[in-house]
Structure 1
């Protein structure tokens, strides 16, 4: 079969067939008396083999290696193609994300595009110092960083200084990043969940962020739960009380937890609930003197007669250090009560 006939039957142009011949991919077995290429049935089958491999994404060079390697198996070739395709798609997705970030920044001139590219390159740097500098430069130059870019950077950032700068910028970006952070709160990576919930605690208060924090109260990680509880308590959510009481018991940010419990007791009418929870911990057989002192400090922050009565009982505690601390707290509260309302104390609030 002459080259023209092969081209008509295979759909491969004569130009491409000559190219295959020059590369050694498909060389016609014979020549006519006039010197024209003459293809056998086996040559035509090889042409279709080449075309099939090309359709899967192999380059002509790769096709040549596959055809010449007797150890090459279909499963190995297809496996390589899957890996290469996944890598290419990842690069394309990364490019698409960058283009969307640039589009979201609504640049009015090419200088804006170049500045955004520079910022993204800075945030992608392996150097924490360079990432930090990229954020600081953007802030000092008044560059508007899209909230989506900031949220992604926050979830990926492990350096505490850079993370703090990113959260600061994100909280002031005014963009919609809650969905990205919410996805981070549900991540299987505990470090990402911690970064996400911490970022949400610094966002402006809203029902959407409150709902995400409420879900985080049930997280398996204590750090995630504690971050969520402190912020929810500040927002007046009594659902945070059990975690906050647990923080006092465990001695983890217990001073902050006690202050939040005190504010909840005064501003949201749940002094009885909190006092009951603290009293239950005092009655626990595992409540050593250090824990009872922390519980006394938390009771001191509360409003209401029940909390004061619990402190009076602790003033007679068998452990001298606990009794001394509780007695001091009772004395302070009694002095404040004699001063009258309006002095800013828990009892007068």
Structure 2
């Protein structure tokens, strides 16, 4: 029996690359498109080093409607698509919203058009807990209202889900939107991990780069939030746990076990950790003391958000396996590996 073929957009990115590895381990034939705007073709070497398999890779900017249509014409026999490709920094989206609307919305529309034209029925969408805005209650479950977004990035995820839902209703697609919380960590092999270009927008690479001496100090965006230690609280999930959730969700669609054409699942640990919690845990696992400075709050940041993961646990049969200690230890191992090459 031939292996199922799956297209992973943004498959050289942080979450995408880990998902490619998990898909290959599960026996899928993986096709990757990426424009490398926030990744590198060198990631392919890490994927091959882990899995022993080279995914089919094409450099493609999904904002190019004609090039995207041509790709789907050439690869019309896909069994499913996992759509990661998007710009993803909250702060940058506030400063440059049009970049986010063009990249995140146009790319999604052109992918969906390709799926509809070539009868590719199954889609996994990389969504985000940002769709909940500042929640009324914690932890958040999937029935929580989708509130006005706190950032253009969050809005693109909300609008993206609406576009997919309406496409499922109109064209008979089947889709699962995975709303994930804060991915951290790296593959245990240290062959792939988070590789931000320029100044990191996420906490953990900023921590590891500070520990490695690339940054003078860690900036903590506000210590006056109404939380136990004054810093924001997030649900940090190991990227490998997150990658495995995509493989399980895809299998659910391919086996037609979905209960509706459009399903939504939170993917997190169910535990909230503050910025200072993460800093202390990193210091503990790495043996490094991190210099830090409190700066102004960052536009678009919510106070606290963490998941109720009961639905994913019970319906998908998925549960996070790794701790923050595991994730931060792997992130530090990955940072040291990168620096040893330079």
Q: What TM-score, normalized to structure 2?
A: 0.23
Whose strand proportion is higher, 1 or 2?
A: 2
* Larger Rg, first or second structure (1 or 2): 1
Which structure carries more relative contact order (alpha carbon 8 Å, separation 6+)? 2
Whose helix proportion is higher, 1 or 2?
A: 1
Q: What TM-score, normalized to structure 1?
A: 0.23
